[in-house]
Amino acid sequence: MRHEIWLVAGLTMCACGPAEVRIDETRGIPAVKGSTEVQLGSFTCGMPIVGSEVTVQTRAVSGGCELKFEREVPVIKASDYDSIPELSGATRLVQRIEVVVKRLTFTDAASQAPLDVATRVTSAQFEVNGQVVAEKATLTSLPKTVTLSGAALDAMKSRIEARSPASVATRVVLVLPTTPAPPQRLVIDYDTQPAIVLGPGKLF
């Protein structure tokens, strides 16, 4: 009798609903990454640096010169809602979105040597949808997993639950000291992997 009670209890627990499903690179979600070369040879801090891919805004700040650039990076295409089985149904809601920050590096393009972050970089931030996911203090301990929250989460969640193409807004903010002088050409590389975690719910 006791065995039958435990068996019924176990079956009841198993019928409580589907578990969370993680959709990441193994399911076709692309990495959010990029490489940008910034020409610093004769730039004047406070003036924009126009490149072939992005325009870097600069301004003088305490500790040196701030460089900032932004990119919009696609994460989910319209066709993904048909090709990724976990996104094709209407019975799961976005529970959270995680971002694995794998790399954020700064390299002297001439020598191919990475900048010494301790002496050549005053501060650094990498943002996804306005949320800081990596900064100077964490660059030596990557990879790092960050869960998007608030407006950063809502921006993607609403698009996914409406079955619309979704992208993330990325921003790199870097402050280089005046001394030692910055390299003539600076390469900024970043590589992150978003993951969408779905759970029980109903979209419509």
pLDDT of amino acid 25: 93
pLDDT of amino acid 18: 55
Band (pLDDT 50/70/90 cuts) for residue 5 is very low
Name 29's bridge partners.
none
- Dmax over CA atoms of the chain, in Å, equals 85
Average per-residue pLDDT for the chain: 86
Say whether pLDDT at 7 is over 60. no
Band (pLDDT 50/70/90 cuts) for residue 90 is low
Q: Which amino acid is at 144?
A: K
> Are residues 68 and 172 in contact, defined by beta-carbon separation less than 8 angstroms?
yes
What region, left, alpha or beta, does residue 136 occupy, with left being phi > 0 and alpha being psi -120 to 50 degrees?
alpha
Query: Does domain 18-200 correspond to CATH entry 2.60.40?
Result: yes
Q: Phi first, then psi: what are they for 119, rounded to 5°? A: -115, -20
Band (pLDDT 50/70/90 cuts) for residue 51 is confident
Burial of 93 (0-12, 13-18, 19+ CB in 10 A): middle
Band (pLDDT 50/70/90 cuts) for residue 2 is very low
pLDDT tens-digit map of 157-191:
999 988 899 999 999 999 999 899 899 999 999 99
Name 176's bridge partners.
65
User: At which residue do the structure tokens 């650094």 appear?
Assistant: 124
> Are residues 52 and 38 in contact, defined by beta-carbon separation less than 8 angstroms?
no
Q: Which two tokens stand for residue 10?
A: 């176990």
